[in-house]
């Protein structure tokens, strides 16, 4: 660095990447000019560990170079002094969380080849003895109740660490909060003794000062200029004069935030002390409406574009509505939805929906329009969402090239009650790598409900995602569907629209949409009344954004319920490449059909956005 001083003199000060040569003090300059020589780019080629047993070396190495990829890019293995220090600190933090409170992690050797940029690092680890919780005791001051031993039973035998301490403290606070002790103070003290297996047994004493028993005065709201107070009070679900329970107030804050009509929601106690306190919810009202542009691509429908127009806080009651229109190369659809959250102050959300669809399928053109009313609520025991509803819709098909029976209905009204359940435990719904999802949907249509047909349509399935080594994942999807006609005079009196037409980027990928449906002897398609679909994928990360996928898809189909669950099997295998984006992976895949029927393609290229299952 060349520095020009105020008196016109110049001086030169060499600098390096590690700033090992500090600038002189004091230093006043009129100007400074930096001449940069990049030199080689330093990249980790080898990282080894000495004394490390509690953490697998592959996991420890990821603290320094990130996720292991099939193609290790240099920018993901770049070396810098700050990145090295951060890696050492993160590895030590991992050991601390596993109960190794005396662990040390140091740089044992660092070799930098200043010609090639190759870096070799050796890390020395001293773990020490692990500390595990052998017992928990409570020392409660005053006349407040003592927590039951069952509250900490599941925590015994775990590693003594900062997260363990925070978890216990949070559990105790919530237990006392529910009983009206908002001023609780907890201090944990630990005594350790050597255990026969070499670790330290820790006995934790929780010194608890509950403070006074506090009651709630009144609940008040400020900032709700356009929002009525009555629906807000129902959502908060606390009664004036009850126990002062911050857990309940926090739950009310969460419910108010989920309405989507407030930018911020907060609460505080007034006064801050005393045996009777009010709660003041402070809200900042948000947008009244928004317009979102929609876009997507699929191999069959090709480009999709549309618009969503949403209104918030209708009538000042936190109701919302949305109008969505989407146009693709093969279909037009529109949906209007009106939603009432937390009906009657319960956990039940209600909605009414008007919908319409015009779509050119492979062997016919479908038109569907109608209305639906539904209610949704959480099933907390299963961590699932339940949905019930009633649907009245009009089915119509034109340009029919199906091998359907003459009695099949081309124009029909269907009225059905609907039941659904979804339990989604995936780590990311847009790009799942771990977790599970299961679902079931039943549509029960009957003439007694106001329609022209009787049928029962069931779809159930799920997906499973897990890691297999670092940078590799296994994805498994299973879906089953069946249509019955109990109560119908003729099994053939079933609308084509409710049959199954498998194939496409989310089904068996050797076929386009609808191409995997059963065929008649003359080659024309018949909608399936039963199908079973299995998808298995092995995904290998190439870089942090690119990955390749090897997959196998199996499909069983039956045109008649008498052949349940299937009378014909189709199989596809294939290879694909994916690019990770904020809205899901962009997928380019080719599925090759192992046993194509006479008129089936040998394979199909699929281009789409989003995870297949």
Taking alpha carbons only, the member of 355, 363, 305 closest to residue 333 is 355
DSSP 74: G
Two tokens, residue 395: 């089915």
Q: Where are the alpha helices (DSSP H) in 187-319?
A: 229-236, 246-258
Alpha carbon distance 219, 554 (integer Å) = 58
Residues 33 and 107 in one domain: no
Residues 53 and 121 in one domain: yes
Domain end marker among 496, 530, 564: 530
Two tokens, residue 402: 């199906």
Average pLDDT over residues 86-113: 95
Residues 172 and 281 in one domain: no
Taking alpha carbons only, the member of 47, 49, 69 closest to residue 119 is 47
pLDDT band at 380 (very low <50, low <70, confident <90, very high): confident
Residues 519 and 412 in one domain: yes
Give the range with max mean pLDDT: 57-66, 225-234, 440-449. 440-449
Residues 446 and 513 in one domain: yes
CATH number of the domain where residue 188 is located? 3.10.20.310
What local confidence, expressed as pLDDT, does residue 144 receive?
Answer: 92
pLDDT tens digits along 457-478: 999 999 999 998 778 999 999 9
Residues 226 and 172 in one domain: no
* 407 pLDDT above the threshold of 50: no
* 495 pLDDT above the threshold of 70: yes
pLDDT band at 214 (very low <50, low <70, confident <90, very high): very high
**Cα angle 191, 192, 195; round to 5:** 150
Q: Are 178 and 216 in contact (CB under 8 A)?
A: no
Q: Determine, yes or no, domain membership for 557.
A: no
Check whether the bond before 565 is cis (ω within 30° of 0): yes
Q: Which long-range contacts (CB under 8 A, 24 or more apart) does 5-8 make?
A: 5/29, 5/30, 6/30
* 413 pLDDT above the threshold of 50: yes
Look at phi and psi of residue 198 and say left if phi exceeds 0, alpha if psi is from -120 to 50, else beta: left
State in Å, rounded, how far the first CA of the chain is from the last one: 56
Taking alpha carbons only, the member of 21, 1, 23, 22 closest to residue 12 is 1
**Strand runs (DSSP E) across 341-410, as ranges?**
349-360, 365-379, 384-398
What local confidence, expressed as pLDDT, does residue 5 receive?
Answer: 87
Q: Which of 35-49, 63-77, 171-185 has the lowest mean pLDDT?
A: 63-77
3-state helix/strand/coil string of 106-144: EEEEEEECCCCCEEEEEEEEECCCCEEEEEEEEEECCCC
Average pLDDT over residues 179-203: 92
Residues 458 and 512 in one domain: yes
pTM, two decimal places: 0.80
Look over the chain and give the mean of its residue pLDDT values, rounded to a whole number: 92
Domain end marker among 70, 97, 126: 126
Q: Determine, yes or no, domain membership for 317.
A: no
Alpha carbon distance 127, 144 (integer Å) = 41
3-state secondary structure of 94: helix
Average pLDDT over residues 408-419: 87
Alpha carbon distance 542, 544 (integer Å) = 7
pLDDT tens digits along 259-279: 889 999 999 999 989 999 999
* 68 pLDDT above the threshold of 70: no
Number of separate domains in the chain: 5
Average pLDDT over residues 22-41: 83
Alpha carbon distance 183, 245 (integer Å) = 11
Residues 392 and 504 in one domain: yes
Domain end marker among 509, 530, 551: 530
Average pLDDT over residues 416-429: 97
CATH number of the domain where residue 475 is located? 2.40.160.50
pLDDT band at 486 (very low <50, low <70, confident <90, very high): confident
**Cα angle 175, 180, 185; round to 5:** 65
Q: Determine, yes or no, domain membership for 264.
A: yes
pLDDT band at 433 (very low <50, low <70, confident <90, very high): very high
Residues 184 and 91 in one domain: no
Looking only at the bridges linking them, the beta strands covering 276-285 and 215-222 are parallel
Task: Give the residues across from 466 on adjacent strands.
Answer: 474
pLDDT tens digits along 518-566: 999 999 999 999 999 999 999 999 888 899 999 999 999 999 999 999 9
Q: Determine, yes or no, domain membership for 309.
A: no
* 406 pLDDT above the threshold of 60: no
Q: Determine, yes or no, domain membership for 610.
A: no
pLDDT band at 70 (very low <50, low <70, confident <90, very high): low
What local confidence, expressed as pLDDT, does residue 13 receive?
Answer: 85
Q: Determine, yes or no, domain membership for 170.
A: yes
Alpha carbon distance 432, 466 (integer Å) = 9
Q: Determine, yes or no, domain membership for 73.
A: yes
Domain hosting 446: range is: 361-530
Task: Give the residues across from 421 on adjacent strands.
Answer: 386, 440
What local confidence, expressed as pLDDT, does residue 520 receive?
Answer: 93
Q: Which of 10-19, 420-429, 496-505, 598-607 has the lowest mean pLDDT?
A: 10-19
pLDDT tens digits along 148-189: 999 999 999 999 999 999 999 999 999 999 999 999 999 999
Task: Give the residues across from 271 on adjacent strands.
Answer: none
Count of Cβ atoms closer than 10 Å to residue 215 Cβ = 14
What local confidence, expressed as pLDDT, does residue 19 receive?
Answer: 64
What local confidence, expressed as pLDDT, does residue 22 receive?
Answer: 79
Q: Determine, yes or no, domain membership for 572.
A: no
Residues 421 and 407 in one domain: yes
Residues near 341 by Cβ (< 8 Å), separated by ≥ 6? 258, 259, 318, 319, 320, 349
**Strand runs (DSSP E) across 200-244, as ranges?**
200-209, 215-222
Alpha carbon distance 484, 480 (integer Å) = 13
Return the residue matching tokens 């209104």.
Answer: 311
Residues near 16 by Cβ (< 8 Å), separated by ≥ 6? none
Residues 205 and 114 in one domain: no
Two tokens, residue 94: 């991992």
* 27 pLDDT above the threshold of 90: no
Residues 379 and 524 in one domain: yes
Task: Give the residues across from 534 on adjacent strands.
Answer: 478, 554
Looking only at the bridges linking them, the beta strands covering 319-328 and 331-340 are antiparallel
Question: Residues for the chain: how many in total?
Answer: 613
Q: Are 531 and 458 in contact (CB under 8 A)?
A: no
Alpha carbon distance 537, 591 (integer Å) = 12
What local confidence, expressed as pLDDT, does residue 403 receive?
Answer: 83
* 419 pLDDT above the threshold of 90: yes
Alpha carbon distance 53, 541 (integer Å) = 27
DSSP for 301-355 reads TEEEEEEEEEEEEETTTTEEEEEEEEEESSEEEEEEEEEE-SGGGSS-EEEEEEE
3-state secondary structure of 581: coil
């Amino acid at each position: 660095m060349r520095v020009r001083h105020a008196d016109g003199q110049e001086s030169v000060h060499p600098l390096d990447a590690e700033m090992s040569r500090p600038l002189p003090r004091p230093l006043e300059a009129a100007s400074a000019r930096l001449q940069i020589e990049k030199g080689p780019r330093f990249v980790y080629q080898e990282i080894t560990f000495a004394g490390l047993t509690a953490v697998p070396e592959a996991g420890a190495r990821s603290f320094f170079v990130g996720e292991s990829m099939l193609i290790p890019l240099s920018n993901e293995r770049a070396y810098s002094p700050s990145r090295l220090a951060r890696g050492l600190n993160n590895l030590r933090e991992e050991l601390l969380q596993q109960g190794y409170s005396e662990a040390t992690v140091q740089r044992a050797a660092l070799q930098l080849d200043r010609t090639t940029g190759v870096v070799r690092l050796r890390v020395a680890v001293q773990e020490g003895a692990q500390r595990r919780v052998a017992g928990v005791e409570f020392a409660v001051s005053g006349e407040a109740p003592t927590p039951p031993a069952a509250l900490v039973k599941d925590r015994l035998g775990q590693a003594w660490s900062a997260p363990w301490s925070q978890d216990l403290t949070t559990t105790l606070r919530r237990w006392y909060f529910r009983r009206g002790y908002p001023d609780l103070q907890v201090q944990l003290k630990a005594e350790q003794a050597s255990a026969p297996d070499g670790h330290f047994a820790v006995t934790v004493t929780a010194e608890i000062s509950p403070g006074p028993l506090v009651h709630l005065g009144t609940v008040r709201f400020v900032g709700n200029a356009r929002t009525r107070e009555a629906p807000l009070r129902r959502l908060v679900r606390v009664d004036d004069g009850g126990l002062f329970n911050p857990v309940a107030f926090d739950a009310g804050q969460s419910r108010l935030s989920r309405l989507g009509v407030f930018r911020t929601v907060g609460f505080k106690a007034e006064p801050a002390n005393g045996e009777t306190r009010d709660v003041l919810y402070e809200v900042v009202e948000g947008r009244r409406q928004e317009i979102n542009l929609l876009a997507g691509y699929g191999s069959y429908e090709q480009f999709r574009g549309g618009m969503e127009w949403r209104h918030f806080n209708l009538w000042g009651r936190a109701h919302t509505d949305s109008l969505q229109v989407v146009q693709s190369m093969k279909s037009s659809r529109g949906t209007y939805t009106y939603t009432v959250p937390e009906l009657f102050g319960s956990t039940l959300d209600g909605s009414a929906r008007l919908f319409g669809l015009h779509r050119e399928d492979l062997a016919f053109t479908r038109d569907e329009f109608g209305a639906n009313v539904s209610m949704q609520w959480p099933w907390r025991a299963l961590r699932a969402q339940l949905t019930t509803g009633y649907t009245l819709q009009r089915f119509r098909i034109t340009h029919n090239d199906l091998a359907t029976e003459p009695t099949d209905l081309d124009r029909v009204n269907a009225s059905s009650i609907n039941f659904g359940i979804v339990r989604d435990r995936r780590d990311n719904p847009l790009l799942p790598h771990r977790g599970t999802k299961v679902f079931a949907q039943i549509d029960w249509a009957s003439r007694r409900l106001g329609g022209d047909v009787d049928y029962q349509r069931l779809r159930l399935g799920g997906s499973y995602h897990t890691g297999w080594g670092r940078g590799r994942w296994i994805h498994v999807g299973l879906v089953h569907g069946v249509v019955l006609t109990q109560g119908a005079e003729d099994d053939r009196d079933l609308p084509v629209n409710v049959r199954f037409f498998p194939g496409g980027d989310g089904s068996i990928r050797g076929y386009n949409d609808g191409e995997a449906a059963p065929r008649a002897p003359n080659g024309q398609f018949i909608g399936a009344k039963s199908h079973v679909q299995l998808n298995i994928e092995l995904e290998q990360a190439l870089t942090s954004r690119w990955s390749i996928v090897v997959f196998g898809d199996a499909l069983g189909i039956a045109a008649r319920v008498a052949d349940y669950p299937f009378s014909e099997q189709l199989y596809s295998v294939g290879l694909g490449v994916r690019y990770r984006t904020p809205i899901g992976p962009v997928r380019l895949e080719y599925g090759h059909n192992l046993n194509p029927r006479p008129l089936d393609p040998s394979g199909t290229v699929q281009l789409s956005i989003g995870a297949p299952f």
